[in-house]
């Protein structure tokens, strides 16, 4: 009855009430409190015990200061020690347990501080070799110490934003009655047809065809498997890792990344997909602005362009929408001023410089580009009546440029079968996919968004290598 009441909305519980009902306590199942909860819920004058890692220590003759963080807040909490002697064992990087009195802080950047009465060092840290100091470290340096960089303010803030963004995406999909599907990592198909896949091998065995009896690779997309489920569910989505053996060294590419993908049955208009994609981006960004404001503000500080982009993303005003043909016309007219390295030409794919001009200079915000030439797009996209283009879209944004892409899927059995055969796919390898069109097919479509690219956009960071916990790219697979 309790659960039924919660789900029906008759009982609206706060996080603490929900935790108390599940665990019998306002603490998260008996775990020590985070600094976030101490700062937000603690009463000034009360005794508290905090745990975390020392970010900095400053000793004076009659007083000592330390900043302690535990990953739950941007700035941690300041600890004041009236007797500098109790701080003698503190070093940057050490893990500690501190008991003291919680007090209002006179500082502008924090609301609470701890006046310590006792300190216990749990895990000491050698100050001579600990690489993270109070000074500002470059993101390039932090990549070289990936096992310690989560303790930096920047990576800590990104990690929390990543967690919050995932929660927001799940909330959006569930609100719109999508069902999450766990698509496979191991697959026998190359969804995009680009051949940039990692092949999977196994120790030698008696099967001459290998462990699986056929060629298997790491997935580049869960789209084809999601389409299987759109034959039984109207709306499905996945948030899964994807892999691409693309030898790129740009800040927009990774060999291992996460994709948000959705597929919708009974959809026959590109405009419907655009509405879904736009609301997904808008609602996720609104959620972060409300529920992860301090982490988002960490990146927005002194960055007016990024601040304006967040406002545009969360605005109810519709994102700009143009066709590929219109985009080429805009770029050709701008060529004399922009001096593009690659001349914009109908029938050729848009280069990064073209996407950047459209999103950053011409529209100064998000813009959908639709109806690309069929010759430069994958086999599964639905042809338009003009016979030259397909019913597809890309969403271009300042920063990572291409944020997401999608299309209506070709649901004509004979046409799709002929297309697959003409491209020379392994005999029968996509029969299962094509055969979906024989048994109760529907007009349908979907999209995929790079999760790291979304976070790159809202943080303004130049490289997705600083967005993911352990970046993998050509020449680099440490840890």
Q: How far apart are CA 459 and CA 27, in angstroms?
A: 32
Residues 6+ apart with CB under 8 A from 409: 227, 380, 381, 382, 444, 445, 446
Q: In the predicted model, what is the mean pLDDT of the chain?
A: 91
Chain segment 110-144, per-residue pLDDT in tens: 899 999 999 999 999 999 999 998 778 999 999 99
Q: Structure pTM?
A: 0.91
Q: Is the pLDDT of residue 392 over 70?
A: yes
Query: 18 and 57 in contact (C-beta within 8 Å)?
Result: no
Chain segment 88-107, per-residue pLDDT in tens: 899 999 999 999 999 999 87
Residue entry with tokens 């049955």: 265
Q: How far apart are CA 362 and CA 370, in angstroms?
A: 17
Chain segment 283-329, per-residue pLDDT in tens: 999 999 999 999 999 999 999 999 999 999 999 999 999 999 999 99
Of the chain, the percentage scoring pLDDT greater than 90 comes to 78
Chain segment 162-179, per-residue pLDDT in tens: 999 999 999 999 999 999
Give residue 205's pLDDT.
66
What Å distances lie between residue 377 and 191, 193, 347, 359, 402, CA to CA? 12, 10, 11, 21, 15
Q: Is the pLDDT of residue 180 over 80?
A: yes
pLDDT band at 202 (very low <50, low <70, confident <90, very high): confident
Q: How far apart are CA 157 and CA 170, in angstroms?
A: 20
H helix or E strand, kind and range, residue 18: helix 15-23
Chain segment 25-68, per-residue pLDDT in tens: 555 678 999 999 999 998 999 999 999 999 999 999 899 999 99
Q: Is the pLDDT of residue 277 over 90?
A: yes
Give residue 114's pLDDT.
97
Short-list 248, 269, 237, 95, CA closest to 172:
237
pLDDT band at 7 (very low <50, low <70, confident <90, very high): very low
Using CA atoms in the order 166, 167, 169, 174, what is the torsion angle rounded to 10 degrees? 140
**∠ Cα 38 41 44 (to 5°):** 80
Chain segment 64-81, per-residue pLDDT in tens: 999 999 999 999 999 999
Q: How far apart are CA 213 and CA 263, in angstroms?
A: 30
Is 234 buried (19+), middle (13-18) or exposed (0-12) by CB count in 10 A? middle
Q: Is the pLDDT of residue 21 over 60?
A: no
- Torsion sign over Cα 166, 171, 174, 178: negative
Q: How far apart are CA 251 and CA 74, in angstroms?
A: 25
Q: How far apart are CA 437 and CA 440, in angstroms?
A: 7
pLDDT band at 108 (very low <50, low <70, confident <90, very high): confident
Chain segment 247-273, per-residue pLDDT in tens: 887 777 899 999 999 999 999 999 999
Give residue 17's pLDDT.
53
Residues 6+ apart with CB under 8 A from 127: 91, 92, 93
Chain segment 337-376, per-residue pLDDT in tens: 999 999 999 999 999 999 999 999 999 999 999 999 999 9
């Amino acid at each position: 009855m309790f659960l039924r009441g919660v789900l029906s909305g008759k009982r609206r519980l706060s996080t603490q009430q929900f935790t108390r009902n599940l665990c019998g306590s306002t603490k998260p199942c008996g775990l020590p409190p985070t600094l976030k909860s101490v700062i937000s819920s603690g009463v000034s004058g009360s005794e508290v015990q905090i745990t975390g890692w020392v970010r900095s220590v400053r000793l004076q003759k009659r007083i000592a200061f330390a900043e302690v963080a535990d990953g739950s807040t941007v700035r941690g909490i300041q600890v004041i020690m009236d007797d500098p002697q109790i701080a003698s064992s503190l070093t940057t990087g050490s893990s500690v347990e501190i008991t003291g009195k919680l007090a209002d802080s006179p500082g502008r950047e924090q609301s609470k501080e701890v006046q310590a009465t006792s300190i216990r060092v749990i895990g000491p840290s050698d100050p001579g070799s600990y690489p993270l100091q109070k000074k500002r470290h470059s993101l390039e340096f932090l990549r070289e110490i990936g096992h310690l960089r989560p303790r930096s303010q920047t990576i800590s803030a990104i990690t929390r934003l990543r967690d919050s963004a995932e929660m927001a995406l799940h909330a959006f999909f569930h609100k719109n009655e999508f069902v999450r599907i766990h698509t496979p990592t191991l697959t026998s198909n190359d969804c995009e047809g680009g051949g940039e896949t990692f092949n999977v091998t196994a120790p030698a065995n008696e099967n001459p065809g290998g462990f699986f009896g056929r060629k298997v690779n790491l997935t580049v997309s869960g789209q084809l498997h999601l389409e299987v489920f759109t034959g039984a569910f109207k709306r499905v989505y996945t948030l899964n890792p994807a892999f691409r053996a693309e030898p790129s060294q740009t800040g927009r590419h990774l060999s291992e990344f996460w994709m948000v993908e959705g597929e919708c049955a009974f959809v026959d208009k590109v405009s419907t997909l655009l509405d879904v994609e736009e609301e997904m981006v808008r609602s996720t960004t609104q959620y972060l602005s409300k529920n992860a404001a301090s982490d988002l503000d960490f990146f927005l500080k002194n960055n007016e362009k990024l601040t304006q982009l967040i406002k545009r993303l969360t605005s109810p005003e519709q994102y700009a929408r143009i066709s590929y043909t219109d985009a080429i016309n805009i770029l050709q007219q701008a060529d004399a001023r922009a001096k593009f390295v690659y001349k914009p030409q109908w029938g050729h794919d848009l280069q990064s410089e073209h996407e950047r001009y459209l999103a950053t200079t011409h529209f100064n915000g998000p813009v959908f580009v639709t109806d690309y030439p069929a010759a430069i797009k994958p086999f599964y996209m639905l042809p338009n009546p003009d016979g030259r283009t397909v019913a597809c879209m890309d969403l271009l944004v300042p920063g990572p440029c291409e944020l997401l892409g999608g299309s209506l899927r070709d649901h004509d059995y004979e046409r799709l079968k002929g297309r697959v055969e003409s491209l020379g796919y392994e005999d029968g390898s996509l029969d299962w996919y094509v055969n979906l069109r024989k048994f109760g097919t529907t007009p349908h479509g979907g999209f995929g968004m790079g999760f790291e690219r979304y976070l790159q956009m809202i943080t303004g960071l130049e490289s997705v290598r600083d967005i993911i916990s352990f970046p993998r790219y050509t020449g680099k697979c440490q840890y």
